[in-house]
Amino acid sequence: MRPAHQWLRVVKPSAEPRTRIVCFPHAGGAASFYRAWGPSLPDGVELLAVRYPGREDRLLEPPARTMEALVAPVVAECLPLLDRPLAFFGHSMGASVAFEAARRLQEAHGARITALFVSGRSGPGRESVPEQSYATAPDRELVRHLKELGGTETAALDHPDLLELVLPAVRADYRIVEEYRADPAGAVLDVPVVAYYGDEDADTDAGSVAAWAPVTRASFTARAFEGGHFYLTDQQAGLLRDLLSRLGVPAAD
């Protein structure tokens, strides 16, 4: 029996997985964001999601303060999963975490994932810089921003008692996003990279998403879906069909 994970939650198990997908949540997000994907995946696909500290069942743990603090433990827990083809999917901040994790696997361990799927995030060097720091913004401004962006449980944002529990992790995530810069001397990946984005997302466009192309020696593809930053909520079926087809896995009936 595989040991329990601290950093990964098995969202959809598979007794004999043909492939595995590890999903990385957005800033302020949690593993449960990918729960809705499970029923849409075929039996041969095992789905896991990263459990960032400071939320859900890790609520009492201090949130990570640096990209390194997120990447290192996730990579350690992904190493035993490489007995099957393993792909990464990351949305927004999660795209950068997934990219750095793929880099670490290749550079430090000589291990390669089968594909890197990045979503809702401009490529290295083209990341959008917010006009103000949301890591240090007043609560009301941060809450307003989160509601406009979507993707975060609005129930928690409407209750002051819950905000005290939720916002520290959100601020820590935004600090990571605001301070992160991809190391230009870091490993160039040897795996296909696919970039998804919403055609109405104010933070990404075809040009900024194309900046992911130089991170790999293999193929690069970009695809837009209708919608904003959280296009993947409304476009889940189409996104999963596209993702699975690129992994050579038939979609569930």
Taking residue 76's Cβ as centre, other Cβ atoms within 10 Å add up to 13
Q: Which of 14, 2, 12, 25 is nearest to 74 (CA)?
A: 25
* CA–CA dist 131, 226 (Å, integer): 26
229 counts as catalytic:
yes
Choose, from 26, 91, 96, 229, the residue flagged as catalytic: 229
* CA–CA dist 41, 57 (Å, integer): 24
Helices (H), the chain: 67-78, 93-109, 139-149, 154-157, 160-179, 206-209, 231-234, 236-246
Q: Are 39 and 68 in contact (CB under 8 A)?
A: no
* CA–CA dist 143, 182 (Å, integer): 28
Strand 8-12 relative to strand 45-50, pairing: antiparallel
| DSSP 8-state symbol, 39 | G
Taking residue 242's Cβ as centre, other Cβ atoms within 10 Å add up to 17
Choose, from 26, 91, 92, 208, the residue flagged as catalytic: 92
Please give, one letter per residue, the 3-state secondary structure of 208-244.
Answer: HHHHHHHHECCCEEEEEECCCCCHHHHCHHHHHHHHH
119 counts as catalytic:
no
The contacts of residue 71 (CB under 8 Å, 6+ apart) are 97, 100, 101, 104
Catalytically annotated residues: 92, 229
